């Protein structure tokens, strides 16, 4: 035996034992590549040796070497775990038997390692966040990991053996079939899919399908992986929507200047014409003209306010004016089956707020009210003063005592179900169909209200309507506001010389005519270069410069700097009919000129009042403040 084994494996080490004690000790101390055992082993037999080997070295091949083992005993030994048995009179079989045992042992080890790797890989696949789905070549599901269960809602036992494509309704089924055909032709496919959760919700995934091949390169299966990009796509949609709104805002701001320049002469001319027109019919036409111009100006202001979003500096706001502008928008855009009712207290207190943000709060609530009345109903806008007592404030979530202006937006619509009430303030939560709502309306309303120190109360009944009550704290200082319909006194000049600069001839001539009729002397320039020349000629006499901001060549911003260098004490009133670029902000350095601002279009009284204030105020003005 030694010669046969040593001849085949010259470097091998052979250990011979003859007792059970020595045998078990070797099994515990040394790992052998193969065990050769006589069937008769002295104080114990070969079957006991085999059993001990299987207990202590289960992976080591065991070969019987005997001259007495019969066929039945050999078969029994093989069933007990022996690899082979060799009769001593046929020793030539020993080397091939050992070779076969070693080969099978190595294959078994490799198989165990491969199986362990497969188990580890399967566990990693199962723990992956992505949905990983393996199908056969016909599309039946072979493997469905936990990520697929989370993403799509089906448990693995529900889909194994089923057609993966038929889990989904058209057109998804057709898209998956097209992806399978494309992957079969090219070896792989990737793209976006809009799948459906088992419960019906849409899931947007970034999908990849790959053909799995065996060692010979033959296709054996299909590997599908899906990454959930639903939130990312939603954010992209919101970003694109914001970009569209921004583009609309830029477009609106670009045409606002021209629109306001068209409306400005109408607003300025109407009061002047009243001095000549005495007939009632003519006065009615003038009043209609003025109201139409005011309405057009209000619409431009509302469009610009909407496209600017939630921007806007806090200031003292008369909410009655915000509601009046909102009513114009609602009347022009809401369906006629929605009847608008107003109830605005005539003595509303002032609030310190951003008028644009207050407008957005009311508009969002009104849009929700409109959507809650698809078959028509009543939309009520109310505003009143309220002094909350401790008991009243305690009944309102987040309420507190104090003086507030309360804005009511009420509808006679479907009401809000209890299941929705607990979620309606959450960002992106919406009950509207896909593409018809972002879920940001009410969260924006709440955010704006809280940022102004206010709070909201909601009263709703299913099938009977909803009432939102927005509480805005009253401004700490008491400011008197003119009662509606009060006509301010038109100030008169005393021959003060005013330079009017505007590239729009209609506005320039109308402004000059208005000032002249009120007792001022006026010289006019059609642009910056002409204005600088006239200022040089009359700088000792000019008391005030009224200039447009946006002019070709030397614009208003550059003009006021040039005039300031000529005469640092010059008073300047800057006009603009556009919000695309704000008024320049002077005062950042001592060399910056100071000026007051006047948005276009403006009424005669507004212009005359500001001119009077500027001519009679001290020489130093607060930068940019009328």
Which of helix, strand or coil describes residue 599?
strand
Tell me the DSSP string of 113-174.
HHHHHHHHHHHHHHH-SSEEEEE-TTSBEEEE-HHHHHHH---HHHHTTSBSGGGS-TTHHH
How far, in Å, are 73, 133, 138, 165, 171 from residue 168 at the CA level? 61, 14, 16, 6, 8
> Distance between CA 403 and CA 384 in Å, rounded?
11
pLDDT at 467: 93
> Distance between CA 232 and CA 228 in Å, rounded?
9
Domain 497-616 has CATH 3.20.20.80: no
230-273 vs 604-616: helix crossing angle, rounded to 10: 80
Q: Which two tokens stand for residue 237?
A: 């949609």
Provide the pLDDT confidence category of residue 404 given band limits of 50, 70 and 90: very high
530 has a pLDDT exceeding 70:
yes
515 has a pLDDT exceeding 70:
yes
310 has a pLDDT exceeding 60:
no
> Distance between CA 485 and CA 10 in Å, rounded?
119
pLDDT at 535: 93
Q: What average pLDDT does range 331-335 have in this prediction?
A: 85
* Helix ranges (DSSP H) in 217-352: 230-273, 280-307, 319-333
| Domain(s) of CATH 3.40.50.2300: residues in the chain | 2-122, 497-616
Contacts of 330 (CB under 8 A, 6+ apart): 340, 366, 379
Degrees (nearest 5) of the Cα angle 451, 481, 316?
20
Q: What average pLDDT does range 267-296 have in this prediction?
A: 78
pLDDT digits (tens, 9 = 90+) for 5-55: 776 788 888 888 888 888 888 888 888 889 888 877 666 788 888 888 888
pLDDT digits (tens, 9 = 90+) for 156-189: 889 889 988 888 877 888 888 888 888 888 888 9
pLDDT digits (tens, 9 = 90+) for 208-251: 989 888 888 888 888 888 999 888 887 887 777 667 666 766 67
Q: What average pLDDT does range 336-342 have in this prediction?
A: 92
Contacts of 51 (CB under 8 A, 6+ apart): 80
Contacts of 353 (CB under 8 A, 6+ apart): 314, 315, 317, 452, 472
Q: What CATH class does 319-480 carry?
A: alpha beta
pLDDT at 301: 64
385, 472 in Cβ contact below 8 A? no
pLDDT at 533: 93
3 has a pLDDT exceeding 50:
yes
Q: What average pLDDT does range 72-96 have in this prediction?
A: 82
Looking up tokens 């207990």, which residue turns up?
Answer: 55
> Distance between CA 304 and CA 136 in Å, rounded?
58
Which of helix, strand or coil describes residue 302?
helix
> Distance between CA 224 and CA 167 in Å, rounded?
14
Q: What average pLDDT does range 313-325 have in this prediction?
A: 82
* Helix ranges (DSSP H) in 458-526: 505-517
pLDDT at 385: 93
What's the Rg (C-alpha) of the chain? 45
Contacts of 606 (CB under 8 A, 6+ apart): 598
Using a pLDDT cut of 90, give the percent of the chain over it. Answer: 16
Q: What CATH class does 128-228 carry?
A: alpha beta
User: 13 versus 434: which is more confidently predicted?
Assistant: 13
pLDDT at 543: 93
402, 471 in Cβ contact below 8 A? no
Q: Which two tokens stand for residue 120?
A: 């580890």
Contacts of 107 (CB under 8 A, 6+ apart): none
pLDDT at 485: 46
Which own/partner pairs from 179-186 qualify as long-range (CB within 8 Å, at least 24 positions apart)?
A: 179/207, 179/209, 180/139, 180/209, 180/222, 183/209, 183/210, 183/211, 183/222, 184/211, 184/219
Quick one: CATH architecture of 2-122? 3-Layer(aba) Sandwich (3.40)
Number of Cβ within a 10 Å radius of residue 104: 13
Q: Which two tokens stand for residue 189?
A: 């496919």
383, 349 in Cβ contact below 8 A? no
pLDDT at 232: 85
Tell me the DSSP string of 546-565.
EEES--SSS-HHHHHHHHHH
First to last CA, the chain: 116
* Angular region, 179: left φ>0, alpha ψ -120 to 50, beta rest: alpha
Which of helix, strand or coil describes residue 348?
coil
> Distance between CA 611 and CA 603 in Å, rounded?
13
347, 385 in Cβ contact below 8 A? yes
Q: Kindly report which listed range (337-341, 411-415, 474-478) carries the lowest average pLDDT score.
A: 474-478
pLDDT at 250: 67
Looking up tokens 């949609």, which residue turns up?
Answer: 237
> Distance between CA 500 and CA 477 in Å, rounded?
36
502, 556 in Cβ contact below 8 A? no
| Domain(s) of CATH 3.30.565.10: residues in the chain | 319-480
Q: What average pLDDT does range 336-361 have in this prediction?
A: 88
pLDDT at 589: 47
pLDDT at 602: 81
Using a pLDDT cut of 70, give the percent of the chain over it. Answer: 84
Degrees (nearest 5) of the Cα angle 414, 417, 419?
160
247, 224 in Cβ contact below 8 A? no
Which DSSP symbol is given to 326?
H
477 has a pLDDT exceeding 70:
no
pLDDT digits (tens, 9 = 90+) for 581-612: 445 554 444 455 778 888 888 888 888 888 99
User: 346 versus 483: which is more confidently predicted?
Assistant: 346
**What's the helix, strand, coil split of the chain in %, to 5?**
45, 20, 35
Q: What average pLDDT does range 339-346 have in this prediction?
A: 91
Q: Which two tokens stand for residue 108?
A: 């078994």
523, 616 in Cβ contact below 8 A? no
| Domain(s) of CATH 3.30.450.20: residues in the chain | 128-228
Provide the pLDDT confidence category of residue 68 given band limits of 50, 70 and 90: low
pLDDT at 352: 87
Provide the pLDDT confidence category of residue 622 given band limits of 50, 70 and 90: very low
479 has a pLDDT exceeding 60:
no
Average pLDDT, the chain: 81
* Angular region, 377: left φ>0, alpha ψ -120 to 50, beta rest: left
pLDDT at 379: 94
Provide the pLDDT confidence category of residue 380 given band limits of 50, 70 and 90: very high
Provide the pLDDT confidence category of residue 546 given band limits of 50, 70 and 90: very high
> Distance between CA 366 and CA 380 in Å, rounded?
9
pLDDT digits (tens, 9 = 90+) for 243-280: 766 676 667 666 766 777 777 787 777 777 777 877 88
Which own/partner pairs from 464-467 qualify as long-range (CB within 8 Å, at least 24 positions apart)?
A: 464/412, 464/415, 465/372, 465/377, 465/410, 465/411, 465/412, 465/413, 465/414, 465/415, 466/369, 466/372, 466/410, 466/411, 466/413, 466/415, 466/416, 467/408, 467/409, 467/410, 467/411
Q: What average pLDDT does range 324-345 have in this prediction?
A: 88
Q: Could you tell me which of 530, 503, 473, 194 has the C-alpha nearest to residue 349?
A: 473
């Amino acid at each position: 035996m030694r010669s046969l084994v040593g001849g085949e494996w010259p470097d091998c080490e052979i250990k011979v034992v003859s007792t059970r004690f020595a045998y078990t000790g070797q099994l515990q101390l040394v790992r052998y590549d193969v065990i050769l055992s006589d069937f008769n082993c002295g104080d114990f037999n070969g079957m006991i040796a085999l059993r001990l080997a299987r207990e202590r070295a289960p992976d080591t091949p065991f070969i019987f070497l005997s001259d007495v083992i019969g066929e039945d005993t050999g078969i029994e030994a093989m069933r007990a775990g022996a690899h082979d048995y060799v009769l001593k009179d046929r020793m030539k079989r020993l080397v091939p038997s050992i070779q076969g045992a070693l080969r099978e042992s190595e294959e078994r080890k490799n198989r165990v390692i491969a199986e362990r790797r497969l188990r580890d890989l399967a566990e990693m696949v199962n723990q992956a966040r992505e949905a990983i789905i393996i199908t056969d070549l016909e599309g039946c599901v072979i493997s469905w990991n936990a990520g697929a269960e989370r993403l799509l809602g089906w448990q693995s036992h529900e889909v194994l053996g089923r057609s993966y494509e038929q889990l989904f309704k058209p057109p998804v089924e057709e898209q998956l079939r097209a992806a399978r055909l494309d992957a079969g032709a090219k070896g792989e496919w990737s793209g976006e899919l809009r799948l459906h959760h088992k419960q019906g919700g849409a899931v947007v995934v970034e999908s990849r399908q790959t053909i799995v091949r065996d060692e010979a390169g033959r296709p054996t299966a299909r590997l599908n992986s899906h990454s959930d990009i639903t939130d990312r796509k939603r954010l992209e949609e919101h970003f694109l929507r914001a970009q569209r709104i921004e583009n609309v805002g830029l477009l609106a701001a670009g045409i606002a200047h021209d629109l306001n320049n068209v409306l400005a002469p109408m607003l300025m001319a109407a009061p002047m014409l009243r001095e000549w027109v005495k007939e009632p019919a003519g006065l009615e036409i003038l009043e209609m003209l003025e109201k139409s111009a005011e309405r057009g100006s209000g619409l431009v202001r509302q469009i610009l306010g909407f496209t600017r979003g939630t921007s806007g500096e806090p200031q003292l706001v008369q909410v009655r004016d915000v509601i009046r502008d909102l009513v114009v928008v609602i009347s022009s855009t809401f369906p006629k089956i929605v009847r608008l009712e107003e109830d605005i207290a005539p003595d509303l207190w002032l609030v310190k707020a951003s008028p644009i943000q207050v407008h957005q709060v009311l508009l969002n609530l009104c849009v929700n009210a409109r959507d809650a009345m698809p078959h028509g109903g009543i939309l009520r806008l109310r505003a009143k003063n309220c002094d909350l007592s401790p008991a009243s404030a305690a009944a309102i979530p987040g309420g507190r005592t104090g003086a507030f202006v309360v804005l009511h937006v009420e509808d006679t619509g479907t009401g809000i179900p209890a299941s929705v009430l607990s979620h309606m303030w959450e960002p992106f939560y919406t009950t509207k169909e896909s593409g018809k709502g972002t879920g940001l309306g009410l969260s924006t309303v709440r955010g704006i209200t809280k940022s102004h120190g206010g709070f909201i109360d909601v009263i709703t009944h299913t099938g009977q309507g909803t009432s939102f009550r927005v509480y805005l704290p009253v401004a700490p200082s008491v400011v008197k506001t003119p009662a509606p319909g009060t006509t301010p006194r038109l100030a008169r000049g005393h021959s003060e010389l005013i330079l009017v600069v505007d590239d729009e001839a209609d506005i320039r001539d109308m402004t000059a005519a208005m000032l002249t009729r009120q007792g001022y002397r006026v010289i006019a320039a059609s642009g910056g270069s002409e204005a600088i020349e006239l200022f040089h000629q009359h700088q000792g006499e000019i008391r005030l410069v009224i200039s447009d901001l946006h002019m070709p060549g030397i614009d208003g911003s550059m003009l006021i700097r040039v005039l300031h260098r000529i005469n640092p004490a010059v008073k300047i009133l800057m006009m603009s009919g556009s919000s695309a670029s704000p008024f320049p902000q002077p005062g950042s350095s001592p060399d910056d000129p100071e000026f007051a601002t006047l948005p276009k279009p403006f009424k005669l009284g507004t212009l005359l009042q500001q001119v009077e204030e500027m001519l009679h105020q001290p020489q130093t003005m607060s930068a940019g403040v009328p």
